[in-house]
């Protein structure tokens, strides 16, 4: 058995005195889409923040064979983990083009071919290139955030609730594009979602998070058939 791309073991963490994660174990395989499901406050966003080194944690995080739990956020990004944070992390005061250039900030090579590819996925961004990113619609900002993250050329892409705050039609668009992007870019993805059916539809493997612990794991299709999951998270 080959080592997974990302392995998390015994992860604890939280904000100040408030502990959110109580010993989490899971893995993300190379080339696949993994999803973390769970209710509001289960610790999904906190888990992603822990991986990116945005909060203090104890436990093990190994990425591509290298322990990263003690690295600062910028070094984790440099190691190849791109993170689309909750709230999308748009640089609102800067232009769309500058946002994209920032995504590729760590790279020294020519980013134009990659930019062109992003415009292929998200044609809207090309039209908005000179516009202040803060003036984009929610859906456009989500597209910008994904493009920005992909320009890092990450080995692993962390997506925090790509559907959050968007109209159902826009969500459908974004997930359709995501499916194409994932297939074509070959990036491994860890996506966190409240909307479990959306996430399960694009994921290979799923974990269910409840109050800071993993309570269930398995292939996405299997999890989607699980009685309890269906009742609590899929609503049928």
Q: Residue 146: which of 210, 211, 90, 74 has the closest Cα?
A: 90
| Angle between helix 96-103 and 138-150 (nearest 10) | 30
* Interface residue with another protein, options 27, 55, 64, 94 (CB under 8 A): 94
Beta-bridge partner residues of 20: none
Q: Does residue 155 bind another protein (CB under 8 A)?
A: no
Both structure tokens of 44: 């999904």
Instruction: Pick the closer one to another protein by CB: 158 or 196.
Output: 158
Residues 62-81 that bind another protein (CB under 8 A): 72-75, 77-78
Of 103, 162, 212, 224, which one interacts with another protein (CB under 8 A)?
103
Q: Identify residues 106-135 at the interface with another protein (CB under 8 A).
A: 106
Tell me how far, at minimum, the Cβ of 54 lies from another protein, in Å: 7
Candidate residues 35, 46, 52, 187; the one interacting with another protein per rule CB under 8 A: 52
Under rule CB under 8 A, residue 105 binds another protein: yes
CB nearer to another protein: give 151 or 229.
151
Contact 81, 158 (CB under 8 A): yes
Q: Give yes or no for residue 148 binding another protein (CB under 8 A).
A: yes
Query: Which one among 102, 170, 201, 216 touches another protein, defined by CB under 8 A?
Result: 102
The site that binds another protein (CB under 8 A) totals a number of residues, namely 25
Q: Does 192 bind another protein (CB under 8 A)?
A: no
> Which residues of this chain interact with another protein, rule CB under 8 A?
52, 54, 72-75, 77-78, 82-83, 85, 89-94, 98, 101-103, 105-106, 148, 152
């Amino acid at each position: 058995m080959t080592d997974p791309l990302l392995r998390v073991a015994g992860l604890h963490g939280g904000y100040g005195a408030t502990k959110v994660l109580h010993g989490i174990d899971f893995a993300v395989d190379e080339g696949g889409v993994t999803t973390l499901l769970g209710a509001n406050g289960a610790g999904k966003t906190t888990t992603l923040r822990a991986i990116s080194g945005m909060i203090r944690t104890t436990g093990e995080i190994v990425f591509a064979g290298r322990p990263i739990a003690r690295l600062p956020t910028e070094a984790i990004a440099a190691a190849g983990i791109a993170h689309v944070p909750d709230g999308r992390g748009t640089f609102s005061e800067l232009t769309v083009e500058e946002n994209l250039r920032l995504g590729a900030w760590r790279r020294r090579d020519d980013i134009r071919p990659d930019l062109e590819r992003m415009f292929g996925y998200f044609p809207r961004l090309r039209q908005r290139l000179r516009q202040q990113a803060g003036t984009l619609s929610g859906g456009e900002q989500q597209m910008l955030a994904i493009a920005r993250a992909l320009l890092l050329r990450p080995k692993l892409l962390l997506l925090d609730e790509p559907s959050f705050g968007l109209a159902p039609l826009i969500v459908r668009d974004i997930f359709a594009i995501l499916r194409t992007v994932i297939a074509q870019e070959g990036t491994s993805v860890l996506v966190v979602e409240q909307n479990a059916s959306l996430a399960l539809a694009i994921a290979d493997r799923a974990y269910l998070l409840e109050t800071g612990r993993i309570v269930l794991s398995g292939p996405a299709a299997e999890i989607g058939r699980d009685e309890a999951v269906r009742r609590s998270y899929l609503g049928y």
